[in-house]
Amino acid sequence: MSIREILFLLAGTVLLTLSSCRTGGKEDSWDELLQESDRLASLQEWEPATEYALKALSAGKTTGDRSLALSRLASLDIMTWRDAQGWEHAVEAERLARLDGTDSLISGALLQKGRLQLCGAITEGEAQDADALETLQEALSFASSTPGLQADILLQISQAYIGLNRFSNPVDPDIYAKAGEAINRAVSVSTDPSFPSRALPYWMRWYRQGGNWKDGIACCEKVLEGLKEDDHLMRSQCWNNLVMLYAQSGDVENTARAHQQYVYAMEYYMQQKADARLQEMETRYETSLKEARIARMRIWVLMLCILAAALVALVLLSLAYIRRIKASDRGKEQLLRLVSKDFTSPQFNRKVSESLRELSSLEDEAVVRDRCKELFGDEDGFIAEDVASYIVNLLEERSREVKKLGLTARELEVIRLSREGLSASEIADRLHVSVYTIKNHKQNIYLKMDVRSNAEMLSKANQLGLS
């Protein structure tokens, strides 16, 4: 592996480390965002729950993901009285669900549409209970394989039947009976042990519409017996319903007792909610501290990686430079051995001189090395590669000096021809310019090289290896 490849590998490692530090931890996935929205909704934190549902909508990769997120948004819109916005979300959820072709998604979207149709009717002319019943029955036809969803739809169907009776006096017994059957069927279909307590508000509305105070009271007391001790929200709802049922039945004493229990349950619930919020804030604070520590550690790791990469690069460059200097020295030694090989052979020395002059006119390092191998070979222990390294070093030094002095290519040509012993007029003839032009070039060279004569120019050029 070459030094350049090693440096590229080190640079890539540093960039990958920097990228990981910049991105930090992974973003929450679609299902995690939706779960957090559901958790917040269970705590009745509607606005934060809506924010997470919107994030889940943006993170959804499939039509099914986006459809489910839109159904959640529609449900939250109902709880925050944003019926028009909820309707748009439910309609779009249904469209995407039908594109996806998943029955449970279609059923969930239709459920939210039915719930929205049940909302907001103050007068009989505004009521959409019949349309809601039709929508919910269609939703039920798609929910045959999902018991939990089926039970939720049946509860809403009971509300649609109750709604059909709310402007009737007296109520239609057949419609009233269908509402009770829908609630009973929902309880029997559901596999959730807590579902009977969730169905309590629907039972209460049904009992109140039919004037069945005694059955309503019995239902509330039964639900209270089955509640967990920490389920203060449902406990408060049960006592609230008992307040209304006892009041409508004329039982003043039990009404007062139920109201007191309702107040206690609400106080416990508010305390429970505050404790949960405090615990959540503490958890988020600890998480933020942990993330800050991780971020600092990433920065330190990045700095250590950069420092290590810089040290490795410095060592590699130093080793490469030392190897190059040693190769250049060996090349110089080999070149001196070659030149001094036979002083009695002018033809051989002329060949070496001409070869060196040719090499000094080249600029590409690869070309210099190839040409060295062609010209000198490896005879008598002569190392062409080392000679090439020596010549490349000379060429690089000459290039630096040329840049430092600011000499042009034409001025370098004038210096080279002057070293061959040509006069100004001969150089002019060789370059096909006037003698005055050559003299002007020489004046510029003298000024740049800080010399005063042709001899000083040639001496300094020789020292700098410019010719």
Look at residue 337 and tell me whether its pLDDT is greater than 80: no
Q: Mean pLDDT lowest for which of 82-96, 216-230, 314-328?
A: 314-328
Check: CB of residue 461 under 8 Å from CB of residue 415: yes
| Whole-number pLDDT of residue 121 | 64
Q: What is the pLDDT of residues 260-287, one digit of tens each?
A: 999 999 999 889 888 887 887 888 888 8
Q: What is the pLDDT of residues 348-370, one digit of tens each?
A: 555 555 655 665 555 666 777 77
> In the chain, what are the domains?
1-119+127-145 (1.25.40.10), 406-467 (1.10.10.10)
pLDDT band at 25 (very low <50, low <70, confident <90, very high): very low
| Structure letter (DSSP) for residue 229 | T
Length of the chain: 467
Query: How far apart (Å, rounded) are the C-alpha atoms in residues 10 and 306?
Result: 9
How many C-beta atoms surround the C-beta of residue 162 within 10 A?
25
High-pLDDT (> 70) share of the chain, %: 79
- The alpha-helical segments, DSSP class H, found in 340-453 are 346-360, 365-376, 384-405, 409-419, 424-431, 435-449
pLDDT (mean) for 87-102? 94
How many C-beta atoms surround the C-beta of residue 390 within 10 A?
23
Look at residue 403 and tell me whether its pLDDT is greater than 50: yes
Helix (H, G, I), strand (E, B) or coil at 166: coil
Check: CB of residue 168 under 8 Å from CB of residue 179: no
pLDDT band at 143 (very low <50, low <70, confident <90, very high): very high
Mean pLDDT over all residues of the chain? Answer: 82
pLDDT (mean) for 120-136? 82
CA atoms within 13 A on the CB side of 77: 21
| Whole-number pLDDT of residue 238 | 85
pLDDT (mean) for 168-179? 90
Closest to 193 in 3D by CA, of 237, 227, 159: 227
pLDDT (mean) for 155-177? 90
| Whole-number pLDDT of residue 393 | 73
pLDDT band at 347 (very low <50, low <70, confident <90, very high): low
Check: CB of residue 14 under 8 Å from CB of residue 309: yes
**pLDDT top residue among 368 and 235:** 235
| Whole-number pLDDT of residue 14 | 55
Closest to 440 in 3D by CA, of 417, 460, 424: 424
Query: How far apart (Å, rounded) are the C-alpha atoms in residues 124 and 137?
Result: 22
Q: What is the pLDDT of residues 435-450, one digit of tens each?
A: 999 999 999 999 988 8
Look up residue 187 and give its two tokens.
């309880």
Query: How far apart (Å, rounded) are the C-alpha atoms in residues 322 and 50?
Result: 66
| Structure letter (DSSP) for residue 39 | H
pLDDT band at 24 (very low <50, low <70, confident <90, very high): very low
Q: What are phi and psi for residue 52, nearest 5 degrees?
A: -70, -35
| Structure letter (DSSP) for residue 28 | P
| Whole-number pLDDT of residue 15 | 60
CA atoms within 13 A on the CB side of 133: 16
